[in-house]
Structure 1
Amino acid sequence: MALRDQVALEDDSVPAFLGRLRAIGLSQALVLSTCDRVEIITVAANEDVAETTAETALLALAEKGGVTPAALRAEGYVLRGADAVRHCFAVAASLDSQVIGEPHVLRQVKAGYAAARAAGLVGADLERVMQSAFATAKRVRSETRIAEGPVSVASAAVQVARDLHGDLDGCAALLLGTGEMGELLAEAFQAHGLERLTVRARRRFRAEAVARRLGAHVSTHEALIDDIVAADIVICCTGGREHVLGSDTARQAAKRRRQRPVFIADVAVPGDVEPAVNMVDNAFLYDLNDLEGVAMEGRAHREAEAEAAWRIVREEVGRFQQGRVERAAVPVITLLHARFEDERARALTEAHGDADKATRLLIGRLLHTPSEELRRLAVGPPENLRHAENVTRRLFRLSESGEEMADPGPTEPTEESDTRP
């Protein structure tokens, strides 16, 4: 972690680093620097220079962090080909994160892609990889439930509150105390639409400081019960030696609230709320252990969904690799189309509008060179002719009877598929 911190890049330093990568010879490169990773995704011109390209990227990162290349090699890793593609897809789909399924990872990947594009370092190869990664992440989000379920105490508290109250728009909360965990919960509630937050503490100046940070109000009531009656959510984080909220106060507040439910999150250590409050009608008390239990269930749920997500990643990697192999045939296909078009134009010109003559001329010319090559191969080693015959039969779907062979259609690519001709 210490080494990673040294080579990490802040957002404002990414453009300069990308410029450095361009200057040292990388024509396509993307940098991803988050709290979990520092990575360079780059493209080698061909397999022969793949190792050199990776070393160039590593040296640039070592130079930036002021560390030795040897230290970086010892802790780093290099993935190539399908392994690199799989890694990119998994990162975008949030399968390679400390918290599986967190959506902010995809935003970070997209930000890295946008920075690379702005620096002119996204060519056709890297563009295809990243667009496929984004499509994979979208499939994972839509076809699995990997992003569902809380994974932290704060997100667990939000889920419980939403289960109880529905949308938090229109809800009011009371922050009782100035503990750090209480602030984290308050921020989480605000991020999910909490309308009003009131802060109450033994020392008013501390309540005012927290209220300023959270854009909240400071309690103006003398009696605690008045604040509780006005709150749909109560966050307790005083952590004193005595309970600040007892069952009698909770019962009186419940009557004044006309039985409207209240969610009480006691995140203080030791607890602020008398356990008997849980017996009060419409008072739902959760302490730290309860909330951590909800979070653990959420994490277990996401891990269970991860296998389905990995299956999608494997499918998309296979599809990407199949497309990559097929693109290798594009140049010769283009030449073949051009050759056929030239011969068609010549045949039409020489036939002077006679369609029958034009088609006979075209067929004769297109078959002349392949026929001559097959005859030439016939006098050579038998295996050469057999190979040429097999290729010809496959290209034109020929059978022994002269009937056209059935089109087998495209096959679904898999990771294990042998894509060699």
Structure 2
Amino acid sequence: MALFSLVAAHTSLDLEMVAQLSTGTDEVIAAVPSAEATRGAVVLSTCNRLEIYAESRDEQSIDEAAEEILDSVARGAGLNAAQVASSFQLLPQDSAVRHLFTVGAGLDSAVVGEREIAGQVRRALTQARESGITTGGLIKLFESATRTAKDVGSGTALGSTGRSIVSVALDLATELRAGTDQIAAARFWEDANVLVIGTGAYAGTTLAQLQALGAKNVAVHSASGRAEQFVEDRGGWALALGGDKVHGAFAEADVLIGCSGGARTVEAAQLAALREDSLHRLTVLDLALSHDFDPAIADLEGVDLITLESVKLAAPEEQTSAVDQARSMVDEAVSAFVAERRSRSANDAIVALRRHTHQVLEEEIARVRARHGCTAAAEEVELAMRRMIRQLLHEPTTRARQLAAEGRLDEYTAALQTLFGLETASESPASSAATCPVHDSSQRSA
């Protein structure tokens, strides 16, 4: 099978388009089991990227498999197929590997070195497994990328900075409300009324960082009704709000943080009505890919809006040396993974050649036995033939692995096809050759 990825990310698209594309991921999961060319897929969907990693039946069918996936995204998102196709970049084979390792290490994030993405990569694989649409190759890829991200986090300064989309957004809010004075900042968060909307991964990170900032008056609301369990799982120090109580929280809030990315959006007029009698200045952090708040609320008097685009613009540059070290670690990990993958890819060609050679060998041995029986002379001939085959196969086997490591295995498989008419993916033919019991050929290998 052949690996590839389809990438739509903040580096080349606006976040609105990424959000629209992301609504089509359920259709991808549903389409994979019945696809013609696609053998498996893993969907990585975050606040600023949609990436689909997949395996096709072979290298020649990558384009066909990519088209199957893009069509399913278009159906699920209700978008034009051509528009969807133009939004994604196709990365084949080794390029897909390098991209995932880079993404998982936080080196392709709006906040360079962010740690949240590593967990998202891990969860993407878990979801694909639960959906039954992954493959052994994709599992190895994602597990290796996750290990590399962990190594980067523990082995470079990027892991110690703790920067993330959430932390940068909260820093922006702090500067807006308290400037750079640390005492004023601490007092602001201690006194502020904060309402968090959502109970997903970003909401969990937000709650933890609010606690670290010293926030004491924090409430959580979820339209799904999961707020109470969400708060309880995180120590129960925040307040879970449901039903009409949330309206009062909107009116009294100093900070609103949207992390849900659900279908409901708080409109500007709605927010203005809820806060009609409020004297509180309001800071809104919209961290959802599909907005929790209407962007028009930025025009309301006394309201500051911080979005993912704001975070991207404000994200700090990490130390060059730390980023260079992280990239070096990623390069080494990618090289090791690709070399191992290429070595494994040589196995089909090696097995095909050995099957062919062994079939010829067993046919010749069967003729010797038919003529001479299980005599000492026949045994000597058999042993000599097996030694000869072992020696003959040694160099072609070594060359197969060498060419695979160099990315030239196609030359080897083409030679097998030309010389012996061998298809490397063919099933092993059943052998009908008779054997002498004490010299069963299954106990020897050439």
Task: Report the TM-score, using the length of structure 1 for normalisation.
Answer: 0.53
Does the Cα contact within 8 Å between 2:194 and 2:255 map onto a contact in 1? Answer: no
Residue 42 (structure 2) pairs with residue 20 (structure 1) = no
Residue 170 (structure 2) pairs with residue 154 (structure 1) = yes
CA distance in structure 2 between the aligned counterparts of 1:85 and 1:79, rounded to whole angstroms: 9
Residue 257 of structure 1 is matched in structure 2 by none
Aligned length: 285
Residue 149 of structure 1, CA deviation:
2.3
What whole-Å deviation, never above 9, does each CA across 1:9-66 have from its counterpart, x for those lacking one? 3xxx855640223233432011111111112111011111111111111111111111
CA distance in structure 1 between the aligned counterparts of 2:382 and 2:147, rounded to whole angstroms: 44
Structure 1 alignment gaps of length 5 or more:
159-163, 166-170, 200-204, 215-236, 241-269, 271-294, 372-387, 398-409
Q: Which letter maps to 1:72?
A: V
Secondary structure in structure 2 of the residue aligned to 1:78? strand
Residue 141 of structure 1, CA deviation:
1.4
Q: Which letter maps to 1:86?
A: R
Task: Report the TM-score, using the length of structure 2 for normalisation.
Answer: 0.50
Identity %: 21
Residue 211 (structure 2) pairs with residue 191 (structure 1) = yes
Residue 311 of structure 1 is matched in structure 2 by 328
Does the Cα contact within 8 Å between 1:30 and 1:41 map onto a contact in 2? Answer: yes
Secondary structure in structure 1 of the residue aligned to 2:30? helix
Deviates more, 1:70-79 or 1:13-22: 13-22
Question: Which of 61, 65, 73 is the equivalent residue of 2:77?
Answer: 65
Structure 2 alignment gaps of length 5 or more:
1-13, 175-181, 197-202, 219-247, 258-278, 283-301, 303-312, 367-372, 413-446
Q: Report the structure, 1 or 2, having the larger strand content.
A: 2
Residue 220 of structure 1 is matched in structure 2 by none
Residue 21 of structure 2 is matched in structure 1 by 7
Residue 312 of structure 1, CA deviation:
1.5
Change (3 A) 1:369 1:90: closer
Residue 304 of structure 1, CA deviation:
4.0
Secondary structure in structure 2 of the residue aligned to 1:43? strand
Does the Cα contact within 8 Å between 2:115 and 2:153 map onto a contact in 1? Answer: no
Secondary structure in structure 2 of the residue aligned to 1:94? coil
Higher-Rg member (1/2): 1
Does the Cα contact within 8 Å between 1:140 and 1:309 map onto a contact in 2? Answer: yes
Change (3 A) 1:34 1:392: closer
Q: Which letter maps to 2:190?
A: L
Does the Cα contact within 8 Å between 2:148 and 2:333 map onto a contact in 1? Answer: yes
CA distance in structure 1 between the aligned counterparts of 2:250 and 2:351, rounded to whole angstroms: 73
Q: Which letter maps to 1:139?
A: D
Secondary structure in structure 2 of the residue aligned to 1:61? helix
Does the Cα contact within 8 Å between 2:195 and 2:249 map onto a contact in 1? Answer: no
Residue 362 of structure 1, CA deviation:
6.6
CA distance in structure 1 between the aligned counterparts of 2:345 and 2:381, rounded to whole angstroms: 31
Question: Which of 36, 39, 44 is the equivalent residue of 1:32?
Answer: 44
Secondary structure in structure 2 of the residue aligned to 1:32? strand
Does the Cα contact within 8 Å between 1:29 and 1:41 map onto a contact in 2? Answer: yes
Residue 135 of structure 2 is matched in structure 1 by 123
CA distance in structure 2 between the aligned counterparts of 1:54 and 1:313, rounded to whole angstroms: 26
CA distance in structure 2 between the aligned counterparts of 1:70 and 1:331, rounded to whole angstroms: 37
Does the Cα contact within 8 Å between 1:94 and 1:101 map onto a contact in 2? Answer: yes
Does the Cα contact within 8 Å between 1:32 and 1:39 map onto a contact in 2? Answer: yes
CA distance in structure 1 between the aligned counterparts of 2:375 and 2:155, rounded to whole angstroms: 58
Does the Cα contact within 8 Å between 2:192 and 2:253 map onto a contact in 1? Answer: no
Question: Which of 26, 45, 52 is the equivalent residue of 2:64?
Answer: 52
Residue 189 of structure 1, CA deviation:
5.2
Residue 94 (structure 2) pairs with residue 77 (structure 1) = no
Q: Which letter maps to 1:141?
A: G
